[in-house]
Amino acid sequence: MAQLSSTLLYIAFILYLIGTFFFGGAIRDKKEKPSTNRWSMLGIVITIVGFVSQLGYFITRWIAAGHAPVSNLFEFTTFFGMMLVGAFIIIYFIYKISVLGLFTLPVALLVIAYASMFPREITPLIPALQSDWLHIHVTTAAAGEAILAVSFAAGLIYLIRVVDQSKPSKRTFWLEVIMFCLITTLGFVAVSTAFSLADYEAKFTWVDKNKQQAEVVYDMPALVGPHKGTLEKESADRFEPLVHMPAIINAKKLNTVIWSLIGGTVLYLLLRLVLRKRIAAALQPLVKHVNLDLTDEISYRAVAIGFPVFTLGALIFAMIWAQIAWTRFWGWDPKEVWALITWLFYAAFLHLRLSRGWHGEKSAWLAVIGFAIIMFNLVAVNLVIAGLHSYAGS
Protein backbone atom coordinates (compact mmCIF):
# COMPACT_ATOMS: atom_id res chain seq x y z
CA MET A 1 0.00 0.00 0.00
CA ALA A 2 2.84 2.41 0.82
CA GLN A 3 4.46 1.71 -2.57
CA LEU A 4 1.16 2.34 -4.36
CA SER A 5 0.83 5.62 -2.46
CA SER A 6 4.28 6.79 -3.60
CA THR A 7 3.52 5.80 -7.21
CA LEU A 8 0.26 7.77 -7.21
CA LEU A 9 2.06 10.87 -5.89
CA TYR A 10 4.70 10.53 -8.63
CA ILE A 11 1.98 10.21 -11.29
CA ALA A 12 0.24 13.32 -9.94
CA PHE A 13 3.50 15.27 -10.09
CA ILE A 14 4.06 14.31 -13.74
CA LEU A 15 0.47 15.15 -14.70
CA TYR A 16 0.69 18.57 -13.05
CA LEU A 17 3.87 19.21 -15.03
CA ILE A 18 2.15 18.21 -18.29
CA GLY A 19 -0.89 20.32 -17.39
CA THR A 20 1.38 23.35 -16.93
CA PHE A 21 2.60 23.04 -20.53
CA PHE A 22 -0.96 22.79 -21.84
CA PHE A 23 -1.96 25.96 -20.01
CA GLY A 24 1.10 27.59 -21.55
CA GLY A 25 -0.16 26.48 -24.97
CA ALA A 26 -3.55 28.02 -24.19
CA ILE A 27 -1.92 31.42 -23.75
CA ARG A 28 -0.23 31.16 -27.14
CA ASP A 29 -3.45 30.13 -28.88
CA LYS A 30 -5.45 33.31 -29.43
CA LYS A 31 -7.83 31.92 -32.06
CA GLU A 32 -10.29 30.55 -29.54
CA LYS A 33 -12.06 31.98 -26.50
CA PRO A 34 -10.77 30.79 -23.09
CA SER A 35 -14.02 28.90 -22.47
CA THR A 36 -13.53 26.78 -25.62
CA ASN A 37 -9.74 26.76 -25.92
CA ARG A 38 -8.67 23.17 -26.58
CA TRP A 39 -5.33 23.66 -24.84
CA SER A 40 -7.11 24.90 -21.71
CA MET A 41 -9.59 22.04 -21.77
CA LEU A 42 -6.80 19.48 -22.04
CA GLY A 43 -4.84 21.29 -19.34
CA ILE A 44 -7.69 21.25 -16.82
CA VAL A 45 -8.61 17.62 -17.60
CA ILE A 46 -5.01 16.51 -17.04
CA THR A 47 -4.86 18.59 -13.86
CA ILE A 48 -8.05 16.97 -12.54
CA VAL A 49 -6.66 13.48 -13.28
CA GLY A 50 -3.48 14.47 -11.44
CA PHE A 51 -5.53 15.73 -8.49
CA VAL A 52 -7.47 12.44 -8.37
CA SER A 53 -4.15 10.56 -8.44
CA GLN A 54 -2.82 12.63 -5.54
CA LEU A 55 -6.07 12.11 -3.67
CA GLY A 56 -5.47 8.39 -4.19
CA TYR A 57 -1.99 8.88 -2.70
CA PHE A 58 -3.52 10.56 0.34
CA ILE A 59 -6.14 7.82 0.88
CA THR A 60 -3.76 4.87 0.39
CA ARG A 61 -1.15 6.43 2.69
CA TRP A 62 -3.88 7.00 5.29
CA ILE A 63 -4.82 3.31 5.06
CA ALA A 64 -1.17 2.22 5.30
CA ALA A 65 -0.40 4.53 8.25
CA GLY A 66 -3.67 4.10 10.12
CA HIS A 67 -3.97 7.87 10.60
CA ALA A 68 -4.33 11.00 8.49
CA PRO A 69 -1.02 11.53 6.63
CA VAL A 70 -0.39 15.08 7.87
CA SER A 71 1.81 14.30 10.87
CA ASN A 72 5.23 15.35 9.52
CA LEU A 73 6.65 17.87 7.09
CA PHE A 74 6.55 15.54 4.07
CA GLU A 75 2.91 14.61 4.62
CA PHE A 76 1.70 18.11 5.53
CA THR A 77 3.44 19.78 2.59
CA THR A 78 2.18 17.27 0.02
CA PHE A 79 -1.33 17.75 1.40
CA PHE A 80 -0.84 21.51 1.12
CA GLY A 81 0.16 21.05 -2.53
CA MET A 82 -2.90 18.89 -3.18
CA MET A 83 -5.24 21.47 -1.63
CA LEU A 84 -3.59 24.19 -3.71
CA VAL A 85 -4.37 22.28 -6.90
CA GLY A 86 -7.91 21.58 -5.69
CA ALA A 87 -8.50 25.28 -4.98
CA PHE A 88 -7.15 26.17 -8.42
CA ILE A 89 -9.48 23.69 -10.16
CA ILE A 90 -12.53 25.21 -8.46
CA ILE A 91 -11.47 28.78 -9.27
CA TYR A 92 -10.65 27.83 -12.87
CA PHE A 93 -14.20 26.62 -13.50
CA ILE A 94 -15.55 29.90 -12.10
CA TYR A 95 -13.31 32.29 -14.05
CA LYS A 96 -11.87 30.25 -16.97
CA ILE A 97 -8.48 32.02 -16.89
CA SER A 98 -5.72 29.81 -18.35
CA VAL A 99 -2.76 31.88 -17.23
CA LEU A 100 -3.68 31.15 -13.60
CA GLY A 101 -2.86 27.49 -14.27
CA LEU A 102 0.48 28.45 -15.76
CA PHE A 103 1.48 30.09 -12.46
CA THR A 104 -0.43 28.05 -9.86
CA LEU A 105 0.61 24.56 -11.00
CA PRO A 106 4.36 25.37 -10.90
CA VAL A 107 3.91 26.62 -7.32
CA ALA A 108 2.19 23.32 -6.46
CA LEU A 109 5.02 21.42 -8.18
CA LEU A 110 7.61 23.32 -6.15
CA VAL A 111 5.71 22.57 -2.94
CA ILE A 112 5.52 18.83 -3.71
CA ALA A 113 9.16 18.70 -4.81
CA TYR A 114 10.13 20.51 -1.60
CA ALA A 115 8.17 17.96 0.44
CA SER A 116 9.81 15.02 -1.31
CA MET A 117 13.21 15.99 0.09
CA PHE A 118 12.13 15.10 3.63
CA PRO A 119 11.88 11.58 5.15
CA ARG A 120 8.92 9.74 3.65
CA GLU A 121 8.78 6.72 5.96
CA ILE A 122 5.47 5.97 7.60
CA THR A 123 6.00 6.15 11.36
CA PRO A 124 3.64 5.72 14.36
CA LEU A 125 2.13 8.88 15.77
CA ILE A 126 3.85 10.33 18.80
CA PRO A 127 1.49 10.64 21.83
CA ALA A 128 0.98 14.39 21.29
CA LEU A 129 -0.56 13.71 17.86
CA GLN A 130 -2.82 10.80 18.76
CA SER A 131 -6.05 12.74 18.52
CA ASP A 132 -8.89 13.25 16.06
CA TRP A 133 -7.98 16.94 16.22
CA LEU A 134 -4.95 16.09 14.09
CA HIS A 135 -7.31 15.47 11.16
CA ILE A 136 -9.50 18.48 11.93
CA HIS A 137 -6.91 21.14 12.78
CA VAL A 138 -4.10 20.34 10.35
CA THR A 139 -6.21 19.59 7.26
CA THR A 140 -8.35 22.71 7.70
CA ALA A 141 -5.30 24.92 8.28
CA ALA A 142 -3.60 23.51 5.17
CA ALA A 143 -6.74 23.99 3.09
CA GLY A 144 -6.98 27.62 4.19
CA GLU A 145 -3.33 28.28 3.36
CA ALA A 146 -3.77 26.61 -0.04
CA ILE A 147 -6.70 28.85 -0.97
CA LEU A 148 -4.69 31.88 0.14
CA ALA A 149 -1.83 30.66 -2.08
CA VAL A 150 -4.10 31.02 -5.13
CA SER A 151 -4.32 34.70 -4.21
CA PHE A 152 -0.51 34.80 -4.39
CA ALA A 153 -0.50 33.31 -7.90
CA ALA A 154 -3.07 35.84 -9.11
CA GLY A 155 -1.22 38.70 -7.39
CA LEU A 156 2.07 37.63 -8.96
CA ILE A 157 0.46 37.57 -12.42
CA TYR A 158 -0.86 41.08 -11.81
CA LEU A 159 2.53 42.42 -10.73
CA ILE A 160 4.44 40.85 -13.61
CA ARG A 161 1.90 42.45 -15.95
CA VAL A 162 1.94 46.01 -14.53
CA VAL A 163 5.46 46.55 -13.16
CA ASP A 164 7.63 48.35 -15.71
CA GLN A 165 10.59 46.06 -16.40
CA SER A 166 12.38 48.49 -18.71
CA LYS A 167 14.20 50.29 -15.89
CA PRO A 168 15.41 49.40 -12.38
CA SER A 169 13.19 50.46 -9.49
CA LYS A 170 12.11 49.34 -6.03
CA ARG A 171 9.16 47.53 -7.61
CA THR A 172 11.33 45.60 -10.07
CA PHE A 173 13.80 44.78 -7.27
CA TRP A 174 11.19 43.28 -4.94
CA LEU A 175 9.46 41.46 -7.77
CA GLU A 176 12.80 39.88 -8.64
CA VAL A 177 13.28 38.94 -4.98
CA ILE A 178 10.05 36.95 -5.26
CA MET A 179 11.40 35.16 -8.33
CA PHE A 180 14.62 34.39 -6.45
CA CYS A 181 12.72 32.89 -3.52
CA LEU A 182 10.77 30.59 -5.83
CA ILE A 183 13.99 29.50 -7.54
CA THR A 184 15.55 28.86 -4.12
CA THR A 185 13.02 26.05 -3.66
CA LEU A 186 14.43 24.45 -6.81
CA GLY A 187 17.89 25.00 -5.37
CA PHE A 188 16.87 23.10 -2.25
CA VAL A 189 15.65 20.16 -4.34
CA ALA A 190 18.83 20.16 -6.44
CA VAL A 191 21.22 20.35 -3.47
CA SER A 192 19.31 17.73 -1.46
CA THR A 193 19.26 15.36 -4.41
CA ALA A 194 22.97 15.84 -5.10
CA PHE A 195 24.07 15.04 -1.54
CA SER A 196 21.60 12.16 -1.34
CA LEU A 197 23.06 10.60 -4.49
CA ALA A 198 26.54 11.10 -3.01
CA ASP A 199 25.35 9.27 0.14
CA TYR A 200 26.73 12.05 2.33
CA GLU A 201 26.44 11.52 6.08
CA ALA A 202 28.10 13.10 9.12
CA LYS A 203 27.23 12.24 12.74
CA PHE A 204 27.45 14.67 15.67
CA THR A 205 26.96 13.88 19.37
CA TRP A 206 26.46 16.10 22.41
CA VAL A 207 25.12 15.99 25.97
CA ASP A 208 21.64 17.52 26.23
CA LYS A 209 20.15 19.51 29.13
CA ASN A 210 19.06 16.25 30.80
CA LYS A 211 22.69 15.06 30.71
CA GLN A 212 21.78 12.38 28.18
CA GLN A 213 23.91 11.73 25.12
CA ALA A 214 22.15 12.79 21.95
CA GLU A 215 23.14 12.52 18.32
CA VAL A 216 22.14 13.94 14.96
CA VAL A 217 23.08 12.84 11.45
CA TYR A 218 23.69 15.51 8.81
CA ASP A 219 22.99 14.66 5.18
CA MET A 220 24.69 17.84 3.95
CA PRO A 221 28.11 19.30 4.92
CA ALA A 222 27.73 21.06 8.27
CA LEU A 223 28.24 24.78 7.71
CA VAL A 224 26.56 25.26 11.10
CA GLY A 225 26.78 22.59 13.79
CA PRO A 226 24.62 21.62 16.78
CA HIS A 227 25.11 23.30 20.17
CA LYS A 228 28.29 21.85 21.75
CA GLY A 229 28.21 19.06 19.15
CA THR A 230 31.26 16.88 18.44
CA LEU A 231 31.92 15.25 15.08
CA GLU A 232 32.14 11.48 15.60
CA LYS A 233 35.28 9.53 14.69
CA GLU A 234 33.55 7.59 11.89
CA SER A 235 32.76 10.97 10.33
CA ALA A 236 36.22 12.42 10.87
CA ASP A 237 36.73 12.93 7.13
CA ARG A 238 33.60 15.09 6.95
CA PHE A 239 33.30 18.86 7.02
CA GLU A 240 33.84 20.52 10.42
CA PRO A 241 31.18 23.20 11.18
CA LEU A 242 32.16 26.81 10.67
CA VAL A 243 30.08 27.77 13.72
CA HIS A 244 27.96 26.05 16.39
CA MET A 245 24.40 27.26 16.97
CA PRO A 246 22.73 27.98 20.34
CA ALA A 247 20.36 25.31 21.65
CA ILE A 248 17.24 27.25 20.62
CA ILE A 249 18.17 26.86 16.93
CA ASN A 250 17.76 23.56 15.11
CA ALA A 251 21.24 23.59 13.58
CA LYS A 252 20.71 20.71 11.14
CA LYS A 253 17.67 22.31 9.58
CA LEU A 254 19.22 25.77 9.53
CA ASN A 255 22.11 24.13 7.69
CA THR A 256 19.60 22.83 5.14
CA VAL A 257 18.19 26.33 4.66
CA ILE A 258 21.67 27.78 4.11
CA TRP A 259 22.51 25.14 1.50
CA SER A 260 19.15 25.85 -0.18
CA LEU A 261 20.06 29.54 -0.44
CA ILE A 262 23.43 28.62 -1.91
CA GLY A 263 21.84 26.28 -4.45
CA GLY A 264 19.12 28.81 -5.27
CA THR A 265 21.65 31.59 -5.79
CA VAL A 266 23.71 29.49 -8.19
CA LEU A 267 20.59 28.44 -10.12
CA TYR A 268 19.28 32.01 -10.25
CA LEU A 269 22.58 33.35 -11.60
CA LEU A 270 22.66 30.64 -14.25
CA LEU A 271 19.13 31.54 -15.37
CA ARG A 272 20.03 35.23 -15.50
CA LEU A 273 23.09 34.36 -17.58
CA VAL A 274 21.00 32.37 -20.06
CA LEU A 275 18.04 34.78 -20.25
CA ARG A 276 20.17 37.96 -20.07
CA LYS A 277 17.31 39.72 -18.30
CA ARG A 278 15.42 39.62 -15.02
CA ILE A 279 13.26 36.53 -14.50
CA ALA A 280 10.12 38.66 -14.12
CA ALA A 281 10.94 40.45 -17.39
CA ALA A 282 11.31 37.08 -19.15
CA LEU A 283 7.84 36.05 -17.89
CA GLN A 284 6.13 39.31 -18.86
CA PRO A 285 5.23 38.27 -22.45
CA LEU A 286 3.18 35.40 -21.01
CA VAL A 287 0.81 37.79 -19.23
CA LYS A 288 0.51 40.64 -21.72
CA HIS A 289 -3.10 39.74 -22.58
CA VAL A 290 -4.24 39.26 -18.98
CA ASN A 291 -7.46 40.95 -17.86
CA LEU A 292 -6.18 42.91 -14.86
CA ASP A 293 -9.61 43.51 -13.29
CA LEU A 294 -10.41 39.79 -13.42
CA THR A 295 -7.00 38.86 -11.99
CA ASP A 296 -7.48 41.36 -9.17
CA GLU A 297 -10.92 39.91 -8.41
CA ILE A 298 -9.53 36.35 -8.27
CA SER A 299 -6.82 37.45 -5.84
CA TYR A 300 -9.40 39.08 -3.56
CA ARG A 301 -11.92 36.21 -3.77
CA ALA A 302 -9.23 33.69 -2.83
CA VAL A 303 -8.46 35.67 0.33
CA ALA A 304 -12.16 36.17 1.11
CA ILE A 305 -12.67 32.38 1.00
CA GLY A 306 -9.33 31.25 2.41
CA PHE A 307 -9.27 33.61 5.40
CA PRO A 308 -12.26 32.13 7.29
CA VAL A 309 -11.07 28.58 6.52
CA PHE A 310 -7.61 29.45 7.86
CA THR A 311 -9.20 31.10 10.91
CA LEU A 312 -11.06 27.89 11.75
CA GLY A 313 -8.12 25.55 11.19
CA ALA A 314 -5.06 27.49 12.34
CA LEU A 315 -6.59 29.39 15.25
CA ILE A 316 -9.91 28.11 16.57
CA PHE A 317 -9.36 24.36 16.08
CA ALA A 318 -5.70 24.75 17.08
CA MET A 319 -6.67 26.44 20.34
CA ILE A 320 -9.20 23.74 21.17
CA TRP A 321 -6.61 21.00 20.60
CA ALA A 322 -3.96 22.92 22.56
CA GLN A 323 -6.35 23.17 25.51
CA ILE A 324 -6.97 19.42 25.37
CA ALA A 325 -3.33 18.39 24.84
CA TRP A 326 -1.43 21.00 26.88
CA THR A 327 -4.17 22.35 29.21
CA ARG A 328 -3.80 25.85 27.77
CA PHE A 329 -5.24 27.29 24.57
CA TRP A 330 -2.29 29.65 23.93
CA GLY A 331 1.39 29.48 24.86
CA TRP A 332 3.36 31.76 22.52
CA ASP A 333 5.00 28.81 20.81
CA PRO A 334 6.78 29.99 17.59
CA LYS A 335 4.26 28.16 15.41
CA GLU A 336 1.34 29.69 17.29
CA VAL A 337 2.84 33.15 17.02
CA TRP A 338 3.32 32.90 13.25
CA ALA A 339 -0.20 31.55 12.78
CA LEU A 340 -1.44 34.65 14.61
CA ILE A 341 0.79 36.92 12.50
CA THR A 342 -0.60 35.31 9.35
CA TRP A 343 -4.16 35.79 10.56
CA LEU A 344 -3.57 39.44 11.49
CA PHE A 345 -1.96 40.14 8.12
CA TYR A 346 -4.87 38.77 6.10
CA ALA A 347 -7.33 40.54 8.40
CA ALA A 348 -5.46 43.76 7.55
CA PHE A 349 -5.57 42.78 3.85
CA LEU A 350 -9.36 42.56 3.91
CA HIS A 351 -9.67 45.78 5.93
CA LEU A 352 -7.46 47.72 3.52
CA ARG A 353 -9.25 46.25 0.54
CA LEU A 354 -12.80 46.87 1.73
CA SER A 355 -12.41 50.04 3.79
CA ARG A 356 -9.45 51.81 2.23
CA GLY A 357 -9.94 50.85 -1.39
CA TRP A 358 -6.62 49.06 -1.84
CA HIS A 359 -7.31 47.45 -5.20
CA GLY A 360 -5.06 46.56 -8.10
CA GLU A 361 -1.31 46.73 -7.54
CA LYS A 362 -1.48 47.48 -3.81
CA SER A 363 -3.72 44.47 -3.27
CA ALA A 364 -1.41 42.29 -5.40
CA TRP A 365 1.62 43.22 -3.28
CA LEU A 366 -0.32 42.34 -0.14
CA ALA A 367 -1.24 38.93 -1.60
CA VAL A 368 2.42 38.24 -2.35
CA ILE A 369 3.58 39.34 1.10
CA GLY A 370 0.91 37.17 2.72
CA PHE A 371 2.18 34.09 0.90
CA ALA A 372 5.73 34.96 2.00
CA ILE A 373 4.51 34.90 5.61
CA ILE A 374 2.88 31.49 5.04
CA MET A 375 6.06 30.08 3.53
CA PHE A 376 8.18 31.51 6.34
CA ASN A 377 5.94 29.64 8.75
CA LEU A 378 6.23 26.45 6.69
CA VAL A 379 9.98 26.61 6.11
CA ALA A 380 11.80 28.72 8.70
CA VAL A 381 9.59 28.11 11.73
CA ASN A 382 9.36 24.38 11.06
CA LEU A 383 13.01 23.89 10.16
CA VAL A 384 14.95 26.36 12.27
CA ILE A 385 13.15 27.49 15.42
CA ALA A 386 12.69 24.90 18.16
CA GLY A 387 9.27 24.67 19.81
CA LEU A 388 6.39 22.41 20.74
CA HIS A 389 5.61 21.97 17.04
CA SER A 390 9.16 20.89 16.16
CA TYR A 391 7.92 17.36 15.47
CA ALA A 392 6.32 18.78 12.33
CA GLY A 393 9.77 19.25 10.83
CA SER A 394 10.83 15.64 11.28
Assess whether 297 and 153 both reside in one domain: yes
Assess whether 128 and 186 both reside in one domain: no
Assess whether 9 and 26 both reside in one domain: yes
CA distance 186 to 363: 27
pLDDT of residue 220: 86
Could you give the dihedral angle defined by the CA atoms of residues 319, 322, 328 and 333, in that order, rounded to the nearest 10 degrees?
A: -90
pLDDT of residue 383: 64
Q: Who's near 338: CB < 8 A, 6+ residues apart?
A: 373, 376, 377, 381
Closest to 23 (Cα-Cα) out of 69, 85, 80: 85
Assess whether 47 and 188 both reside in one domain: no
pLDDT of residue 391: 47
pTM for the full model? Answer: 0.85
CA 230 to chain centre: 33
pLDDT of residue 33: 53
Domain boundary among 219, 245, 276: 276
Residue 140 near residue 306 (C-beta atoms within 8 A): no
Can you give the residue range of the structural domain that contains 387?
Answer: 2-165+277-393
Domain boundary among 228, 254, 276: 276
Report the domain count for the chain: 2
pLDDT of residue 362: 93
Assess whether 28 and 148 both reside in one domain: yes
pLDDT of residue 157: 94
pLDDT of residue 210: 65
Provide the residue-wise pLDDT of the chain in tens; the chain has 394 residues. Answer: 778 888 999 999 999 999 999 998 887 655 445 555 788 899 999 999 999 999 999 999 988 888 888 888 888 899 999 999 999 999 999 988 889 999 999 999 989 988 887 778 887 777 666 777 778 888 999 999 999 999 999 999 999 999 988 888 899 999 999 999 889 888 888 888 888 888 888 888 877 666 677 788 888 888 888 877 777 766 656 777 888 877 777 778 788 888 888 998 999 999 999 999 999 999 998 888 888 999 999 999 999 999 999 999 888 988 888 787 767 777 777 778 888 999 999 999 999 999 988 898 999 999 999 999 988 888 766 665 555 555 444 4
CA 143 to chain centre: 12
pLDDT of residue 253: 77
Residue 393 near residue 259 (C-beta atoms within 8 A): no
Assess whether 172 and 155 both reside in one domain: no
Assess whether 351 and 240 both reside in one domain: no
pLDDT of residue 244: 80
Assess whether 341 and 207 both reside in one domain: no
Assess whether 244 and 177 both reside in one domain: yes
Assess whether 21 and 136 both reside in one domain: yes
Assess whether 224 and 295 both reside in one domain: no
Assess whether 204 and 316 both reside in one domain: no
Domain boundary among 257, 276, 295: 276
